[in-house]
Structure formats: structure tokens, C-alpha cells
Structure 1
């Protein structure tokens, strides 16, 4: 968004490729891939480069160049072979391809302002029984309904640049208290940002966000260094709400058809559960619940 910080710097794609391959190789042991483990003391964690090259069917020199960040002219077939050898998930395989062959994955300009269609905003407003919001690039929160404000806090009270899940999770103590499984929420956010870093290596705003969080949050630095990537489209979150207590909510995430950079995320509780009753209470309290919850969070912060 135009109001967000822009440092002018970009992420180093070659360094990202190098570190991603190195960390994926380090997590594998010879016995994981059917290779004998000679010697009791190995100087490197995980597989050696020559072992990985053997599994992928490429020369050691070729793989070494790739792990040093030189993905120029690498074929899709070689990347597929390396992905199989490294036991990559689908998300990790896609991330590797984005890092090694970025010109084949052109995206919309990173600087463009993210806009939510008016009809989508109207849809959010009609979902008056469930918390729902639209999230865009860099984990920016672009639009939300009244129930989302009642559950997660009134984001309208924040500057536009602060309406961002990464900043909320890592820089605001009240969100550590809100999410019972805060560590997993933090991991999910970092994994998505890592995927975006592969798709948009020239996104200066993403680079600025990563830089800011790396300076301000030790937890972010630790998780960012893992180079893990994944995309979660559904799951369960346990919350500790300041007004209604424990909430166990299921969520579903849907890509917006005409803008794959945006997702609609909606939460719901299983029928007949205490969490469903708690959501009903929050819905009946309306703006009073949002205001009271925000006041409670501010006092704790």
C-alpha cells in the first residue's frame, strides 16, 4: 500500500537460493534417502553435496554452482530431480523454482496499491456471524467485517502500515496473548513471507518489512533463518479472548479468483460448542464487544 514503508532495498535472490538449498540438504540424513552412513563423525549436518548430487543425477560441480546461488540456465527437469532428492513438498518445490528461475514467474508490479473489490467488501459485511477478513501481499490486512474486529481487535484504530499480520504477531504483545499457539501462528506467517520472497525478490516493501522485523524481533530472526515455506489453507486456531475466554475456531482460506494475491479467510466454531456460543455473544454485543476487547488488550499491553 502507498502508505507503507519502502526502504528501496531488495532481497538477494542468489543468497536466498543458496541458503534454501543448504538448509533443505542439512535436514536430511543418509538413512533418510537410502544411503549408507560411513563413519561415526560427519563434518556437515545432513547430506553432503556429493551425496545429494548422486541422488539427483547431476555432477557435484553442477549442484555446487546451484547451491552457491547460480541458477542461470538450470532446466526444469534438473530442478525436479533436485526437489525429489531433497524430498521437497509441493510448496518447497515451487519456492525452489521461483528462486532459480524468476523470469519464468513474472507477477504484477510489487509497488501497486492493493485494492479490495467493493462487492467483496459487501460480502464480508453480510457474514455477520463469523469473523472474516481479506489478506493480501506481505500479510497486509486489507478488509474485515465487524466480527473479525470483535475477535482480533479493531484494526481500523491502527495506521494502515500496521494492519499487517507479521507486525501484529511479532511486535504487539497482546497478540502473543490472544493466540494460545502463538509459535505456530508465527511460523505460518514467516513461511508465507518466505514464499513471497521467492515470488517477488524485487519487492522493496517486503524487504523493508523483513528488515524491520529482523531488527525488532529475535523470534522473527530465528524463524526466518529456517528458510521454511508452506501454505496453509485451513486449520484450527485456539484463542484466549479478553471478553469471552477460550475460543476454538476452524478457519478456511480462499484465493480470490480475479486476484490470486488476495485471500478471504473465515473462521467458525463447531455447532453446539462453547466457542459457538461465545461467537454468538460477541455478535450480539456488536461494536461494544470490539471496543471493550480493544480496551482490555490496551490495558494488558
Structure 2
């Protein structure tokens, strides 16, 4: 667990370093000549753009400055050209922290009324997930959509640890980036979550692709997006999803897929629905022990 904990420590410093490395001097109007020894901007360049001393900015990256003001964070965020989601993440990870008693992994439960709602949707895949992308419940059509996977308890494990993923996701790179960016956002909200540390620890050890994307510190909420799948039984699908916060359980998200009416994807989804007639809707064991 200590190794897993290290992977989310000093999130602020890691985030600042990753975003600094992605900016070129020309992006911020800094003239350059000759070869630079480091990718992206130097610390002193970010400090100058933000209007703070180089020493202060260095202490921020090293985790030695724990109480930056909102004004300084805004200035640093503007210097690093952060968008709204990334700026919100910067404020979260820079907020006051305290060492808490180690928590046991929380077992997430889906309310019976929400499960009944899932079961009434026969023509659209739908599932409920936790902040760390554990799939807590899914309806029959979602079970058939994910039937090719061996790892079907967590979207990250499905994407990075199951060989089916690169066939199933026609845009695997995009799917991988999206899932990691969603997890990174969860890490900014609750870095002490034991389940988060389990997921990050396992995937960092087992997937070099995950480790590379995790180190980029991209942040994104899962809201809506088009997904391009290839299902072994019905072929190609292009589905749009919407994600909704469950008000009675605010840490949970309801994800619903739909196809555009009159398209080949709608026909394929209808065929998938006929295959789901004999399937059983699943309730994965949330927070189950990792392999």
C-alpha cells in the first residue's frame, strides 16, 4: 500500500511539471535560440509569466509550499494555459490537506430504485459507475455490449488489461486518454480514497500505457461523448453517451448510451437488444480484490 500511496502523493507538483513540459516557449511568446536541455518551459519562465519568484514556484512544484493563495493559483494556471476543467483541478489539488486515518475501501451499493430503472431500459445500454470507474451495476443490454471482456468490473481494467479492448474500441487511444483523465479528476477530489490507490497501483504495475497517460496529468469529467465500438456479434457501433450524477448517491454516475435513429448503429444496437433477451443484468462486486 505504501507504494500505491506514493503514486498519488504531491499531486500538485506532478500536475504542474506535466503541464509545464507540454508548453513550448513559442506558445507563450518567449523567444528562444539554441538547444534547450528540458522539454517545455523552465520553472523560472513559468514563474515570470505568473508574476511570482522562481523560488516560490519551485517550492510549489516540490510540494514544500502547501498554502498558495487563490490569486497565485489563478496566475499560475493562466501561465500554464489551463482550461476550465484543469484550472478547477489545480485548485482542488492545491487545497489544504491533512493526514487522515487510513480508510478501508468503501463498498459502493446501487439503490434498488435505480437498479429497477436500469432494468426498464431495454433498448439502450446503461450502467452505474463509481468515481474510480468501477461498474457497480449494468442492465442487460450493457452486459451484452461488454460480453467480450474478461475484466468487466472496471472501465480502466477493461481498457488497459483486457486484450479485447483494442478491438472493441475503434479509437483505443482516445478511449484510454478519456478514462485516465476521468480517474485523474477523481484523484484531485479524493486523493485518500483507498480504492483509487488500489486501481492506480495495479494499473501502474501492469500497464506501461496507463503509466504514460497517468504521468500526463490530463483532467476531464465524463459528461458526453461519441464512442466508436466493434462488437464481435453485431459489428461496428457508434454510440453517444450522457453521464448523470445520481443525486441520492453523488459519488455515482449513471451512463447511458444511444444510437442516432435511422443509422446502421441503431440497427446494430437493435440486434444487440435481441441478443440481450437471454442475458442477465450484472452487479459487479465493487471494490473487489484486484488480481
TM-score range, shorter chain: 0.7 to 0.9
Q: Provide the secondary structure at the position in 2 that maps to 1:272.
A: coil
CA distance in 2, matches of 1:92, 1:47: 18
CA distance in 2, matches of 1:103, 1:257: 26
1:295 is aligned to none
CA distance in 2, matches of 1:83, 1:221: 24
Match of 1:151 among 141, 145, 160: 145
TM-score, length-scaled by structure 2 = 0.87
Whichever structure has more helix as a proportion of its residues is 1
TM-score, length-scaled by structure 1 = 0.84
1:141 is aligned to 135
- In 2 relative to 1, CA 110–187 (structure 1 residues): closer, same or farther, beyond 3 Å? farther
> Are residues 1:182 and 2:172 paired?
yes
- In 2 relative to 1, CA 289–241 (structure 1 residues): closer, same or farther, beyond 3 Å? farther
Q: Is the 8 A contact 2:66 2:96 kept in 1?
A: no
1:249 is aligned to 239
Q: Number of residues paired by the alignment?
A: 278
CA distance in 2, matches of 1:13, 1:222: 14
User: How much does 1:63 deviate?
Assistant: 0.7
- In 2 relative to 1, CA 8–221 (structure 1 residues): closer, same or farther, beyond 3 Å? closer
1:272 is aligned to 262
Q: Provide the secondary structure at the position in 2 that maps to 1:58.
A: coil
Q: Provide the secondary structure at the position in 1 that maps to 2:74.
A: helix
1:284 is aligned to 274
CA distance in 1, matches of 2:92, 2:7: 13
1:200 is aligned to 190
Q: Is the 8 A contact 2:169 2:229 kept in 1?
A: yes
1:125 is aligned to 119
Supply the RMSD in Å over aligned alpha carbons. 2.5
| Greater mean alpha carbon deviation, residues 219-228 or residues 118-127 | 219-228
1:78 is aligned to 72
Unaligned runs of 5+ in 1: 1-5, 292-301
User: How much does 1:103 deviate?
Assistant: 3.6
Q: Is the 8 A contact 2:7 2:200 kept in 1?
A: no
> Are residues 1:18 and 2:9 paired?
no
2:32 is aligned to 38
Q: CA offsets per residue over residues 219-273 of structure 1, 9 Å max, x none?
A: 1122222222212311111111111111111111111123331111111111111
Match of 1:226 among 205, 216, 219: 216
- In 2 relative to 1, CA 210–186 (structure 1 residues): closer, same or farther, beyond 3 Å? same
Unaligned runs of 5+ in 2: 282-291
Q: Is the 8 A contact 2:140 2:279 kept in 1?
A: no
Q: Is the 8 A contact 2:56 2:65 kept in 1?
A: no
User: How much does 1:191 deviate?
Assistant: 1.0
- In 2 relative to 1, CA 262–7 (structure 1 residues): closer, same or farther, beyond 3 Å? farther
Q: Is the 8 A contact 2:241 2:258 kept in 1?
A: yes
CA distance in 2, matches of 1:227, 1:271: 37
Q: CA offsets per residue over residues 77-102 of structure 1, 9 Å max, x none?
A: 11111111111122211222222114
2:289 is aligned to none
CA distance in 2, matches of 1:170, 1:27: 24
User: How much does 1:167 deviate?
Assistant: 1.0
- In 2 relative to 1, CA 18–8 (structure 1 residues): closer, same or farther, beyond 3 Å? closer
- 1:96-115 → structure 2 map (5 Å cutoff): 96-103=90-97, 111-115=105-109
